[in-house]
Structure 1
Amino acid sequence: MFKPVSSRVNFPELDANVLHQWKEKDVFRRCESERPDSPLFMMYEGPPTANGSPGIHHVLARVFKDVICRYKTMKGYRVQRKGGWDTHGLPVELEVEKELGLKSKRDIEEYGIEEFNQKCRDSVFRYVKEWETMTDRIGYWVDMDDPYVTLHNNYIESGWWMLKTLWDQDLLYQTMRGTPHCPRCVTSLSSHEVALGYRENTPDPSVFVKFKVEATTSTNKADVLNKLGARTTDVFLLAWTTTPWTLPGNTGLAVDENADYSIIELESESSHHRLVLAKALVQTNVTQEHKVIGSLKGSDLVGLGYVPLYDPKEYGSQVRRFVRRPGPGGMVTELEECNEFTPKVISAGFVTLDDGSGIVHIAPAFGDEDLSVGREKELAFVQHVDLQGIITGKYPFAGKFVKSADKEIIEDLTERSLMFNHDVYKHTYPFCWRCDTPLLYYAKSSWYIRTSALKDQLVTGNDTINWYPEYIKDGRFGEWLRNNVDWAISRERYWGTPIPIWQCQICNNSVCVGGVEELQNMCSTNGNTKDDSLDLHRPYVDNVILDCTAEGCSGTMQRIPEVMDAWFDSGAMPFAQYHYPFDNDTIEADGRFPADYICEAVDQTRGWFYSLHALSTLLKGQPAYKNVICLGLILDEKGRKMSKRVGNVVEPLSILDEHGADALRWYLFTASHPGEPRRFSGKLVSETLRKVMLTLWNIYSFFVGYAEIENLTLQNSRRLET
């Protein structure tokens, strides 16, 4: 009745025997194929990128996916779990750049986009064997024989269809904003990418700078000038900033028009040197002896002109102004060169008296609030920094990276007696989630999905999702949805899903193409690679030229150069994994959409969880998933985040070789609640093996030994056939 059981056991060897039986008898496939009439349970697999070896955090997610799917299989469900690979985006590009020794986008273009993208294509499957081995060894059942792959033409085409659908609904548009921008990768980032890279206690300069009131450009403010004494005395407006590098781009100073502002004179100075700042902040900022000689309302200051710290004409920077012109999806803001430059004081609703001086430095080229108020108040636009974050022009600090230039700018303003005070300010600041470069908020034109238009639907849809831990629903994820901003999807990069928008070079007419057949009907190109096969990637798709579709225009249309945010790729998987709607238009009717279950780490609340939810709500008016387990992070045994730089990363295959899959899985299941962080080391898995696995094995060995002696038989037993 019972097979003999040794008191000594080799768990990795036992794993190998079980895996061999599963493979030999095709158990995984048969669990689905032999129950065609059973209710479907759908699990979506978040796509990893196979350009690096799998880590222990990947094991954590996979065992939690597997345990639910196995439970549902044992309950009689037909469980579908299609594997996938995320193959586009900055993670791939940056690794290839390192391998090739490329340092910038210029290097990539000199190397050749075609050759660079081919290297990216080759790299994304480099570690597939390691991933498949890990997946097999931990006993994770997922279909890796027919995975979805984001670089495949069919997947890209589904993404094009999705974007065209949004275009037709006026949910895709182009505009100029102060966009989060990585100067190293030279591309925009979305709000959820920015959220992945915030660092607390980041030190930055805190500077209070003096802007001299200019009487000759404030002729309509005679009464205010007289009250300030600006015709006979040097009067300065005191403004605060933590980004000195933006000061050469200053074109305005913002005040609260309802606040009281004091005019003070410093007692220690022999000259009649006066400062203007918010009355409520005088005691905080002015520690020297001083006397208050008058006060004004913020509204009195509006319209005053002042001397620029760095006159752009003197330092070789272009001065531009805002203009509104027709564009794709409506009116767009553009810039045109102008000769006049008169910085002025304006009012703005975001000026507070909580900190600073009550006067805010405005540089419309850097920051979305600055750009918005600059456009509204018709301020000039000076962009003295290029897309690599290098200061241009003839400034003393030209050629420096912006953060490196801060020190020289402070020194320069100090020498010119325009620096009132400077210190170090620690705050939370965003860094690139892939390359760790500090981000800049840079005014430029980008493409956006109008997710904010469906904010209420995103929130109410989230109410129907079963979250574990439950507090994520209204907390981390719910708060993110309630503060939703439009999704910046365009990336000024190379290896990604090309945005299928073609624009006329003459009339600026634009079309969005929703599929390969539609594109072929608009041009004579069927194949565009060297061997005449279809490849929808750059640079091939860039070579497709269309005749302008606008009536009466004889121009030609070229594809815009941007590619999509790789998070769009992963968020598209409920549809694109089946080449919807081209090959499979029944995913809703047959239960493949939405998913019954997804599971990933907590950082995906603003990554894959969000992109899934946003796109399915935009396209189908409902969430992409019904249930989600949100996993805590894995730390080392000392409670530190695992990092290759720290050297505390644990390779999962070495743990499996030594202790086997069951001890590893059991430890990950039981070390903490799913949503809480858990410490990990080989030693901790070894303790689980000793305390749990060996204890169970010895109990069973003891039972079998005595059962054989007593000739015990199991009553009403049923042999499980495989």
Structure 2
Amino acid sequence: MFHPVNTKISFPELENEIIRFWKDRNIFQKSLHNRTGSPQFTMYDGPPTANGKPGIHHVLSRVYKDIIPRYRTMKGSYVPRKAGWDTHGLPVELEIEKKLKFTSKADIENYGVAQFNKLCRESVFTYLKEWDSLTERIGFWIDLEHPYITLENSYIESCWWAIKELWDKGLVYHGYKVTPHCPRCGTSLSSHEVALGYRDDTVDPSVYIKFKVIDDSARKIVQNVAGDTKAMLRELGQKSVYFLAWTTTPWTLPGNTALAVSPELEYSVLKNENEYLILASARVMPVGFEGYTAVGTVQGNDLAGMAYEPLFNPHSFNVERRRFDKNTGFPVQSASKDNPLSYQVIAADFVSMEDGTGIVHVAPAFGEVDFKAGEENELNFVQNVDLDGNITGTYPFAGKFVKKADPLIIEDLSSRGLLYRRETITHTYPFCWRCDAPLLYYAKRSWYIRTTAKKQELIDGNATINWYPDH
């Protein structure tokens, strides 16, 4: 049957006619029924959260998801498509927190976790009608009548089944991983989420800290100095020797367990009336040292292995000290109390001469590079901050949020003569894109999936895919 063609065509109405035709005649269902028994092609649809309105970007992603199943259907495959709804996670929780004007986990606990979860469950399908309408309007063929829903036990049990399968294959392990952590949301962020929250105008402390060299190490350093060694040895009894390091995160200093130097570079020894300072020769002029004179140089390689006093001995502040151990299955083991406790200088290839002093403060609990250095050198591991971003232990600044503890830590070091200079810096720093809290790079002890065991298989599989655009 043919219909007259109107010269004034309304494309939206034409599309609606096609949608009605598909719906009235169950075309999607017939496309499946007619291919029952044919080779099956499966495409997993990552489910959206229905507690937020769909946007134009969802149209784009759903069009892409619709093209491939339609193509495979036209090629004769049986292609069932099951809709899904993501009802877990932070998007749902944050929506309820905003509604209740909550600002912390404590607010949720005081309100009642069960009642809070009830509101989350009630909110997850707030915009379900809008999602169904959009899905139908753009011609996205998918089974909306029998969706999988992540809060249902059947789905949750399938996740536990998958974890059990991974466990049986030895792919689940207990360990540490350094992640960008939001102390307010209480979760790690992916790299693309971190990229959403960078701010170029963040003002932070910029401090130069003195680390006192142990006497025996000071003598060994002086003996390797190209300069007036005899005069320096005579003065060691009256003048202390310090390594000078720079940081913009004073809150990580209680977690310091090593200093890193570049083994190939030259380091200068500076002197004033009271002390000796050691830093990279290339950084002496940029940093500036009024009242100091250069008395000699030493190679970075000769500094490696030298010992210095902790800025904050964790045993004095009721904080556990752990230690990396390559010989055990778990990377960090409890360490006995050393009296006196000292840390060491390590040689490393990540030391930069673009800023700082050429001596890098290393805190394995608070940085990916630091953690790797801890593993490679079997360093001590001191985690003096909890997942809420608060300082633990019995420090004078314990209980404070890390950023609020910064000035207190600086004052403490200054009162002990360990602060060389205090400034501020405006630089780029990541914040949580959801709640604006500053992110903390934090070594989390948790359960992980050993994806590296399948890395090569994944790479080999990717090599068989015809990518558009090519890469």
TM-score (norm 1): 0.57
Relative to structure 1, the CA distance from residue 143 to residue 319 in structure 2 (aligned partners, 3 Å threshold; closer, same or farther) is closer
Q: Distance in 2 between the 1:18 and 1:100 partners? A: 44
Q: Distance in 2 between the 1:275 and 1:198 partners? A: 38
Mapped contact 2:324–2:381 kept (Cα < 8 A): no
Superposed, 1:434-513 pairs within 5 Å as: 434-471=434-471
Aligned match for 2:215, one of 206, 213, 218? 218
Aligned partner of residue 115 in structure 1, secondary structure: helix
Q: Distance in 2 between the 1:313 and 1:77 partners? A: 66
Q: Distance in 1 between the 2:63 and 2:193 partners? A: 29
Relative to structure 1, the CA distance from residue 163 to residue 78 in structure 2 (aligned partners, 3 Å threshold; closer, same or farther) is closer
1:248 aligns with 2:250: no
Relative to structure 1, the CA distance from residue 326 to residue 50 in structure 2 (aligned partners, 3 Å threshold; closer, same or farther) is farther
Relative to structure 1, the CA distance from residue 384 to residue 72 in structure 2 (aligned partners, 3 Å threshold; closer, same or farther) is closer
Relative to structure 1, the CA distance from residue 93 to residue 381 in structure 2 (aligned partners, 3 Å threshold; closer, same or farther) is same
TM-fit CA distance, 1:76: 5.1
Q: Distance in 2 between the 1:177 and 1:165 partners? A: 22
Relative to structure 1, the CA distance from residue 86 to residue 340 in structure 2 (aligned partners, 3 Å threshold; closer, same or farther) is farther
Q: Counterpart amino acid of 1:117?
A: N
Question: Identity rate of aligned residues, in percent?
Answer: 49
Superposed, 1:41-190 pairs within 5 Å as: 41-74=41-74, 77-189=77-189
In the other structure, the counterpart of 1:20 is 20
1:231 aligns with 2:237: yes
Mapped contact 1:319–1:338 kept (Cα < 8 A): no
Q: Distance in 2 between the 1:424 and 1:396 partners? A: 25
TM-fit CA distance, 1:263: 0.4
Q: Distance in 1 between the 2:61 and 2:453 partners? A: 33
In the other structure, the counterpart of 1:562 is none
TM-fit CA distance, 1:69: 4.0
Mapped contact 2:267–2:278 kept (Cα < 8 A): yes
Render the CA deviation track for 1:101-121: whole Å, top value 9, x for unaligned.
433333334444433333333
Q: Distance in 1 between the 2:56 and 2:315 partners? A: 56
Mapped contact 2:181–2:187 kept (Cα < 8 A): yes
In the other structure, the counterpart of 1:301 is 303
Superposed, 1:637-648 pairs within 5 Å as: none
Q: Counterpart amino acid of 1:49?
A: T
Superposed, 1:428-439 pairs within 5 Å as: 429-432=429-432, 434-439=434-439
Relative to structure 1, the CA distance from residue 188 to residue 335 in structure 2 (aligned partners, 3 Å threshold; closer, same or farther) is farther
Q: Counterpart amino acid of 2:200?
A: N
Mapped contact 1:255–1:346 kept (Cα < 8 A): yes
In the other structure, the counterpart of 1:320 is 321
TM-fit CA distance, 1:295: 1.6
Mapped contact 1:374–1:380 kept (Cα < 8 A): yes
In the other structure, the counterpart of 2:421 is 420
In the other structure, the counterpart of 2:280 is 278
Q: Counterpart amino acid of 1:44?
A: Y
Q: Which of structure 1's runs of 4+ aligned residues deviate more than 6 A?
A: 323-327
In the other structure, the counterpart of 2:267 is 261
Q: Distance in 2 between the 1:98 and 1:341 partners? A: 50
Aligned partner of residue 364 in structure 2, secondary structure: coil
Q: Distance in 2 between the 1:380 and 1:64 partners? A: 50
Q: Distance in 2 between the 1:420 and 1:196 partners? A: 32
TM-fit CA distance, 1:364: 3.2
Aligned partner of residue 180 in structure 2, secondary structure: strand
Aligned partner of residue 44 in structure 1, secondary structure: coil
Relative to structure 1, the CA distance from residue 209 to residue 192 in structure 2 (aligned partners, 3 Å threshold; closer, same or farther) is closer
TM-fit CA distance, 1:403: 2.7
Q: What value does the CA root-mean-square deviation take over the aligned residues?
A: 3.5
Structure 1: gaps of 5 or more residues: 472-722
In the other structure, the counterpart of 1:344 is 343
Aligned match for 2:293, one of 284, 291, 294? 291
Q: Distance in 1 between the 2:65 and 2:400 partners? A: 49
Mapped contact 1:233–1:272 kept (Cα < 8 A): yes
Q: Counterpart amino acid of 2:27?
A: V
Mapped contact 1:193–1:433 kept (Cα < 8 A): no
Q: Distance in 2 between the 1:331 and 1:41 partners? A: 42
TM-fit CA distance, 1:430: 4.1
Aligned partner of residue 144 in structure 2, secondary structure: strand
Aligned partner of residue 80 in structure 1, secondary structure: coil
Q: Distance in 2 between the 1:110 and 1:278 partners? A: 53
Q: Counterpart amino acid of 1:34?
A: N
Relative to structure 1, the CA distance from residue 129 to residue 334 in structure 2 (aligned partners, 3 Å threshold; closer, same or farther) is farther
Relative to structure 1, the CA distance from residue 19 to residue 348 in structure 2 (aligned partners, 3 Å threshold; closer, same or farther) is same
TM-fit CA distance, 1:239: 0.7
Render the CA deviation track for 1:39-96: whole Å, top value 9, x for unaligned.
5554332211111111110011112333454455455554432211222222222223
Relative to structure 1, the CA distance from residue 145 to residue 307 in structure 2 (aligned partners, 3 Å threshold; closer, same or farther) is same
1:333 aligns with 2:335: no
Mapped contact 2:210–2:420 kept (Cα < 8 A): no
Q: Distance in 1 between the 2:300 and 2:118 partners? A: 59
Relative to structure 1, the CA distance from residue 154 to residue 105 in structure 2 (aligned partners, 3 Å threshold; closer, same or farther) is same
Greater mean alpha carbon deviation, residues 54-63 or residues 221-230: 221-230
Mapped contact 2:92–2:124 kept (Cα < 8 A): yes
Greater mean alpha carbon deviation, residues 46-55 or residues 222-231: 222-231
TM-score (norm 2): 0.83
Aligned partner of residue 454 in structure 2, secondary structure: helix
TM-fit CA distance, 1:225: 5.2
Q: Distance in 1 between the 2:284 and 2:193 partners? A: 35
Q: Distance in 1 between the 2:245 and 2:447 partners? A: 33
In the other structure, the counterpart of 1:358 is 358
Q: Distance in 2 between the 1:161 and 1:469 partners? A: 36
Q: Counterpart amino acid of 1:283?
A: M
Q: Distance in 2 between the 1:98 and 1:439 partners? A: 20
Q: Distance in 2 between the 1:204 and 1:300 partners? A: 36
Q: Distance in 2 between the 1:337 and 1:193 partners? A: 40
Q: Distance in 2 between the 1:341 and 1:457 partners? A: 49
Q: Distance in 2 between the 1:351 and 1:22 partners? A: 61
Mapped contact 1:242–1:425 kept (Cα < 8 A): no
Q: Distance in 2 between the 1:177 and 1:463 partners? A: 28
In the other structure, the counterpart of 1:624 is none
Aligned partner of residue 286 in structure 2, secondary structure: helix
Mapped contact 1:263–1:276 kept (Cα < 8 A): yes
Q: Counterpart amino acid of 1:88?
A: H
Mapped contact 1:384–1:391 kept (Cα < 8 A): yes
Q: What is the number of residues matched between the two proteins?
A: 460
Superposed, 1:674-693 pairs within 5 Å as: none
In the other structure, the counterpart of 2:226 is none
Q: Distance in 1 between the 2:379 and 2:2 partners? A: 87
TM-fit CA distance, 1:287: 6.5
